[in-house]
Structures are given as C-alpha cells and as structure tokens.
Structure 1
Amino acid sequence: MDIYFMRHGRTNYNDLGLCNDDPSRDVHLTEVGIEQAKLAALALRDVVFDRIIVSPLPRTYQTAEVINCYHAVPIEVHPDLADIRSGFDGIPVSDYFSAIIHDPLRIRVNGGESLLDHKQRVLRFIDWLKEQKDKTLLVVAHEETMRVFVAYFEGGVKDDQLRDIHVGNCEYKHYVLNCA
C-alpha cells in the first residue's frame, strides 16, 4: 500500500505557540495554512487516493478538504491519529516542554499521555492500516504523530531521538506499507 503522510497546515495555535488536543477548541488553518494546503494539493493532484484519513482535530480535516479538491474521495476520522494529549490544551508549548524536561519520554502531566503512550497509539494505527485494502491513502495528522511515522518507516530512530525529527506544516512523506 502506498501511503502519503502529511502534517496539517499552519494554524492560529501554531502562531500563538499553544498546545491543542481538544477538538472543540477553535483551532483552524490560517491564511498561510490554507495556502500551504493548496500548494500540497497541487503537488499531489496526480496521485490517485482511495481515501483520506484524518485525526479528530479539525485542522487535519480542513487540510484534507483542500487536498481533496483534486480527488473527491471519502475523508474519514481515526481517533488514533489525534495529536498527543499533552495535558496542556490552550497553554503555551514552552510550558509543556518545561513540565516534561526531566523525562520527556515517560512523564504524563495533567491527565495527559506520555510521548511513549502516544507512540504506542500511533503504532496501533499502523497495525490497523495493515488490515486495510486500499492501494493509496493520504493520512493527515500532526507533527508529533509524523515523528512516529518517520521513525517507523525510515528506521534507526531511538525513542529519545523522536523530538529531533521536524516536519513542517503540509510537508508530506511517501512510504510503502507491506500488508499481510
């Protein structure tokens, strides 16, 4: 199966430097984010997707809608693609990083999940993908989620190196998943 994994376009919370894992908050693509999605849509216009899978957070769906202007395929939400539940929704990302500095892989703060918890959830999604019958998919997710995809498909990335992987808004990666 060919899978294109993409990070969502730039949002108002990216501009403000705030965490978000609550789908009910007004976190949306900015004009820059919409333009990023349009450029990605042009780059992917000739790829024949069977469907697009997004996280429950609206910014991924908004990005997928722009990409889908060339495809008109179903857009489906999968809960395992949600961004890391940091426990810092609406709070500066810098505060979150300060809270997990002593053990960034395992610390759970304010009822959130650790980076390793998040990684396990994303790996569960990859296992789910292996059972799907699609030929080509687009998955729109978040930077933290993209880090797990990159580490899984490119290999050689230790857990403590996940944070060293950076994926820009609307940057995408193409991988082949061998299904059972």
Structure 2
Amino acid sequence: MNIFFVRHGQTKCNELGLGQNDYEPLSAIGLKQAEMIARRAKALPIDIIHASPMKRASQTAETIKAAVNKEIIYSELLIEHRLPSVMIGEALESSLAAQIRKECNLYQDDISWHYSDEENFLEYKARARQALEYLSALPQKNILVVSHGNFIKMLVLTMALGDLIKPAALYAFANKFRLRNTGLTYCKKTATGWSIEAFNDHQHLG
C-alpha cells in the first residue's frame, strides 16, 4: 500500500501564525499551491482521495480531484489536532499558548482531563492510531490523503513509535521537521510494517 499525504495549501492564519477554526479558507497563495500540487498529483498512481473535511483541506482536495478525476471521501479522523477554542485567532507562540501547553503536559496521562474543549493528548494519539487502521483497511493500494501539518506528523510518528509516543517526543519532532503547505509525504506499508519514503517533498513549489 502506498499513501501520499498532502498538507493543505496556505491560509492567512498559517501566514500569521494564528490558531484556526474549521472554516478557514485557503489564501490566494494557498490556492496557487493547491494548483501546483494538483498538477504534480497527475504523475502519482492515485486510486482514491481521502481528506479532512476542514475547509482548507477540502479546498485542496477538490483542486486535486479536478486534476486527477478521482473520488474524494471525507473523514473526521483526518482533521487537525483540536486546540482549545480560546486559541482560535491567537498567536501559536504567545504566552497564552505556552501556558496551555504547560498545563496540558502536566496531565498528559489523564484521559479525563481537559484544559477546556480541546482534544487532549491521549485522545489525539488514539485518533492517529485509528486513522492508520482505517487507511490500512482500505481496498485501494494507492491513496492520496489531504490533511494537516500537525496531524500528518502525528501519523508519521505513530508509524515509527506506536503507543510509545509522548508529548515531548511529538513536540520535538514537530519543531525540528517542518512540513510546508502542500508538502508531500510518501509512506509505504508492507508485510513488515510502515516505512517513510519521503517527507515534506515540495519540489512542485519551485
């Protein structure tokens, strides 16, 4: 099985480093990026597209669909990590964001604890595992998945570490391994498990 993960195109909030809601659309730059990855996708052996229903991902997926003429199936399993609602429109590197991360880390092993209405770490980890199981069970062998930067990184780390993932490892990985908008990550599954063949390939952006 071959899975081609694509991060959605850029949004205004991406450009400004702000937390986003579900309905944040692609910016003018993001729309151009979506066209670029769509042209590249024509050269990939795609059987079907699976995508997050969040606006920025669905716009990217629909642009790719128009180029490759393949069906899209939307799944809530592929959405971005849900942050507390107070973070919508807030700078992701603000003192508030740092305080929220600190509190969440204190309770990382408590499935019942929430700062407010976010998806806590154990829920997030479980969803990543469920998403990989869902994708692995698909009958198609060549799948393009349009999702989000943080969640694609979580999926890749889940392939590598499984249930051993801790927040510190995830944050370190996320901070060191950047994933550009419409960056392409290619993963392969065989009888021996997952392998990451390419990460954040963005040659289509020039």
User: TM-score if structure 2 supplies the norm length?
Assistant: 0.76
Kept after mapping to 1: 8 A contact 2:83/2:118: yes
Change in 2 beyond 3 A, CA 1:97/1:8: farther
1:16-27 matches, within 5 Å, as: 16-20=16-20, 22-23=21-22, 25=23, 27=24
Q: Which residue of 2 aligns with 1:91?
A: 89
Change in 2 beyond 3 A, CA 1:153/1:4: same
Kept after mapping to 2: 8 A contact 1:48/1:71: no
Could you give the per-residue CA deviations for residues 61-81 of structure 1, whole angstroms, max 9, x where no partner exists? 101122223211111110111
1:177 to 189, 194, 202: 189
Q: Which residue of 1 aligns with 2:204?
A: none
Q: Which residue of 2 aligns with 1:128?
A: 134
Could you give the per-residue CA deviations for residues 45-98 of structure 1, whole angstroms, max 9, x where no partner exists? 211211111112011010112222321111111011111121135231233343
Kept after mapping to 2: 8 A contact 1:36/1:169: yes
Moved over 6 A (4+): none
Alpha-carbon shift at residue 18 of structure 1 (Å): 2.4
Could you give the per-residue CA deviations for residues 89-147 of structure 1, whole angstroms, max 9, x where no partner exists? 52312333431224448273222112332121121011111211001111111112111
Q: Structure 1 unaligned runs (5+)?
A: none
User: TM-score if structure 1 supplies the norm length?
Assistant: 0.86
Structure with bigger gyration radius = 2
Number of residue pairs matched by the alignment = 177
CA–CA separation in structure 2 for the residues paired with 1:51 and 1:4: 11
Matched AA of 2:169: Q
1:5-44 matches, within 5 Å, as: 5-20=5-20, 22-23=21-22, 25=23, 27-44=24-41
CA–CA separation in structure 2 for the residues paired with 1:32 and 1:87: 27
Q: Percent identical across equivalent pairs?
A: 25
CA RMSD of aligned residues (A): 2.4
